[in-house]
Structure 1
Amino acid sequence: MGLYKIPEDFKLSVVIPVYNEKRWITEVLRRVRMVPIPKEIILVDDLSTDGTREMLQQFADDNTKILYKETNQGKGAALRDGFKLCTGNVIIIQDADLEYDPDDYPSLLQPIIENKADVVFGSRFIGEKHRVLYFWHMVTNKILTVLSNMLTNLNLTDMETCYKVFKKEVLEGMDLKSNRFGFEPEFTAKIAKKKKPAWRVFEVPVSYDGRTYEQGKKIGLKDGFNALYCIVRYKFFN
Structure 2
Amino acid sequence: MKLIIQIPALNEQETIAEVIEALPRKVPGFTSIEVLVIDDGSTDDTVDIARRAGADHILRMGCNMGLARAFSAGMEEALALGADVIVNTDADHQYCADDIPALVRPIRDGEAKIVVGARPIRDNESFSPTKKLLQWFGSWVVRKCSGTDIPDAPSGFRAYSRDAAARMCVVNTYTYTIETLIQAGRKRIPMTWVPVRVNRVERPSRLFRGMGEYIRRSVATILRVFVMYAPLRFFASLAALCALPGIVGIVRFLGFYLSGDGSGHIQSLVLSSGLMAMAMVLMAVGILGDMIAANRSLLEDIRARDLLGATTRRRHDATILKLADAS
* TM-score class normalised by the smaller sequence: 0.7 to 0.9
Call closer, same or farther: CA 1:219–1:135 in 2, change over 3 Å: farther
Deviation at residue 18 of structure 1 after TM alignment: 0.4
Q: Please tell me the residue identity of whatever aligns with 2:76.
A: K
Is the Cα contact below 8 Å between 2:76 and 2:166 reproduced in 1? no
The Cα of 1:131 is off from its aligned counterpart by 3.7
- AA of the residue aligned to 2:207: I
Residue equivalent to 1:95: 90
Post-superposition offset of 1:82: 1.0
Task: Indicate whether 1:26 and 2:17 are aligned.
Answer: yes
Residues 137 and 113 (structure 1 numbering): CA distance in 2 closer, same or farther, change over 3 Å?
Answer: same
Specify the code of the residue in structure 2 equivalent to 1:74: G
Q: Does 1:192 align with 2:191?
A: no
Are 1:209 and 2:205 counterparts? no
Deviation at 1:59, TM superposition (A): 4.5
Pick aligned residue for 1:78 from 70, 75, 97? 70
- What amino acid is the match of 2:206? K
| Aligned equivalent of 2:295 | none
Residue 172 of structure 1, CA deviation: 2.8
Q: Residues of 2 paired with 1:44 and 1:16: CA distance?
A: 6
1:6-64 per-position Cα deviation (integer Å, ceiling 9, x unaligned): xxxx11111100011111011111011x3422311110111112332343343466xx1
SS in 1 for 2:177: helix
Whether the 8 Å contact between 1:130 and 1:209 is mirrored in structure 2 is: no
Q: 1:179 aligned to 2:173?
A: yes
Higher helix share: 2
Offset of 1:216 from its aligned partner? 4.5
Please tell me the residue identity of whatever aligns with 1:218. Answer: R
Q: In structure 2, how many angstroms separate the alpha carbons of the residues matched to 1:173 and 1:163?
A: 18
- After the TM superposition, which residues 1-238 of structure 1 pair with which residues of structure 2 at under 5 Å, given as runs? 10-32=1-23, 34-37=24-27, 38-59=32-53, 64-86=56-78, 87-125=82-120, 130-181=124-175, 183-194=176-187, 198-212=188-202, 215-220=203-208, 221=211, 222-237=213-228
Consecutive unaligned residues in structure 1, runs of 5 or more? 1-9
Alpha-carbon distance between aligned partners in 2 of 1:210 and 1:223, rounded to the nearest angstrom = 20
Partner SS, residue 44 of structure 1:
strand
How many Å apart are 1:229 and its aligned residue?
A: 1.2
User: TM-score normalised to the size of structure 1?
Assistant: 0.84
Contact map agreement 1:159 1:184 (CA 8 A) in 2 = yes
Q: Is the 8 A contact 1:16 1:93 kept in 2?
A: yes
- Cα shift readout 1:166-193 (whole Å, capped 9, x = no counterpart): 1011133432112222x11110111001
- How many Å separate the matches in 2 of 1:173 and 1:116? 18
Distance in 2 (alpha carbons) for counterparts of 1:56 and 1:103: 19
Deviation at 1:147, TM superposition (A): 1.0
Bigger-Rg structure (1/2): 2
* Cα contact 1:118–1:199 (8 A) shared by 2: yes
Change (3 A) 1:35 1:205: farther
Residue correspondences, number:
219
Deviation of 1:126 (Å)? 7.7
The offset of 1:132, in angstroms, is 4.8
Structure 1 residues 173 and 36 mapped into 2: Cα distance closer, same or farther (>3 Å)?
closer
Q: Distance in 1 between matches of 2:91 and 2:126?
A: 20
**Residues of 2 paired with 1:59 and 1:226: CA distance?**
34
- Other-structure match for 1:4: none
- Mark the runs of 5 or more structure 2 residues left unpaired by the alignment: 230-327
CA-to-aligned-CA distance 1:118-167 (integer Å, 9 cap, x gap): 1111101389x744532222222111111111111212210000112110
Higher relative contact order (CA 8 A, sep 6+): 1
Q: Secondary structure at the match of 2:5?
A: strand
Name the SS of the counterpart of 1:231 in structure 2: helix
